[in-house]
Structure 1
Amino acid sequence: MNRIKTLSLLVKFGLYFTLLSMLLSLGVGVWHQDHHVVLGAEGAMKAWLGLEVTGNWEPLAEQLAQSGFNEVLLLGVMQLVPLLLINWILLRLFSLYQQGKVFELANINCFRYLGWTMVGQFVLNIIYPPLLTLSMNELYADLVLTRSITFGENDIAMLLVGFIIIVIAEVMRQGLILQSEQELTI
């Protein structure tokens, strides 16, 4: 059990670092003119900090930027929301592990929330860009953004992993029920 607690603490440090970097990237991405900053001297190691829209949303981001809109604010923030939720859920899960709580309902709920967040990320990737395009085209008469629904193998993998985690949560819940029944029998 001590090993689980120690490893959970190490994972939590990593998750806090990830959370901090996401929040810093969000701040720089939204409020900096170039949506990123490069830290470091010429000829030395450099660090890039910021936010950019990637993946399936990149073509829409380019259209928005060409039309004078802040693509990071309109798209990048929405791409980051599920990642922030996933990070928060994992922080909760590893906090429970660090407290010595391994096979409890709270852990099962964390797995369930994690799985549904991943499924929700897939749904968000499909519905948000067309909804944004439709609303922007309606609000600005001279704007003609291309409407499209796109998803790739990473999105499908995220959906599949989300459903797998939901099934694992259900298996854990069934195990907890069996354990409770067994304790009542003895």
Structure 2
Amino acid sequence: MKALGKGSIAAWVQIALMVAWVCLWIAAAALVLAAVGYGVLLALIANGSVDPSVLTGGDGQIRLGDEGGGSFQVSYDEPGGATWPVVVPGLLIGAVAVAGALIIVWRLRKLFDSFTSGEPFRRENARHLRVIWITMLVIELSRYALLGLTAALLVNFEPDIDADFRISLDISTWGSILILIVLAEVFREGARLKEEQELTI
């Protein structure tokens, strides 16, 4: 099977990227729903409909309506671990990951559009690769910052939670970033040479 053009490996990758694009939007919607749901839960706790122990653990009750006969009540015995110093950084980490993945997949789709059409050395392909490596760099640096923020919040607000926050250096991610930097320059130079050749002809 050929690598570029119609019916090529690039065309199959393009289909896979479309599936990934849809899945990422579903993940983004789920993340927004989770954030809204957590906000509603905090509001219900603030007005007394839900016991605060649902976040910290223990026995409690979710109540809707009056305490009399018309109320809807659910009892629970939850382990907790859903306090805001845990959930908010988790939502932020998820938002950075999903938003970054959407940008990367969008640029890859544009890149593979030109691969499928059989024109890999376009000037915009170098820009797509540049945006991809910059996005990967931002995601990786954000990961370190958000892990540090989570650790600081837990130390200050949840000292009882025993969590291990060792920040590890992901060699494969940093290696991929370096490779993409080089590829972006290769594509930029290839596009320049192609343009010069077309002008010469």
- Which TM bucket (shorter chain)? 0.5 to 0.7
Q: Which residue does the alignment assign to 2:115?
A: 97
Q: CA contact under 8 A between 2:4 and 2:116: conserved in structure 1?
A: no
Q: Distance in 2 between matches of 1:78 and 1:128?
A: 10
Cα offset, 1:164, TM superposition: 0.8
Picking from 177, 182, 197, the partner of 1:167 is 182
What is the Cα-based RMSD across aligned positions, in Å? 3.4
**Residues 114/5 of structure 1: CA separation in 2 closer, same or farther (3 Å cut):** farther
Specify every segment of 5 or more residues in structure 1 that has no aligned partner in the other structure, as ranges. Answer: 34-64
**Residues 180/116 of structure 1: CA separation in 2 closer, same or farther (3 Å cut):** same
Q: Which residue does the alignment assign to 1:6?
A: 7
Q: Which residue does the alignment assign to 1:150?
A: 167
Q: Distance in 2 between matches of 1:125 and 1:119?
A: 10
- SS of the residue corresponding to residue 7 of structure 2 reads helix
Q: In percent, how many aligned pairs have the same letter?
A: 25
Match runs of 1:100-115 below 5 Å: 100-115=118-133
Q: Which residue does the alignment assign to 1:24?
A: 26
- SS of the residue corresponding to residue 150 of structure 1 reads coil
Cα offset, 1:182, TM superposition: 4.5
Q: Which residue does the alignment assign to 2:67?
A: none
Q: Distance in 1 between matches of 2:100 and 2:173?
A: 11
- SS of the residue corresponding to residue 102 of structure 1 reads coil
Decide which structure has the larger Cα Rg and report it: 2
Cα offset, 1:132, TM superposition: 4.9
Counterpart code for 1:18? A
Q: Distance in 1 between matches of 2:130 and 2:107?
A: 10
Q: Distance in 1 between matches of 2:197 and 2:92?
A: 53
Cα offset, 1:184, TM superposition: 4.5
Task: Give the number of equivalent residue pairs.
Answer: 150
- SS of the residue corresponding to residue 92 of structure 1 reads helix
Counterpart code for 1:4? G
Match runs of 1:33-182 below 5 Å: 66-69=81-84, 70=87, 72-134=90-152, 136=153, 142-144=157-159, 148=165, 150-152=167-169, 155-182=170-197
Tell me the TM-score normalised to structure 2 length. Answer: 0.58
- SS of the residue corresponding to residue 66 of structure 1 reads coil
Higher normalized helix content (fraction of residues) = 1
Q: Distance in 2 between matches of 1:3 and 1:164?
A: 21
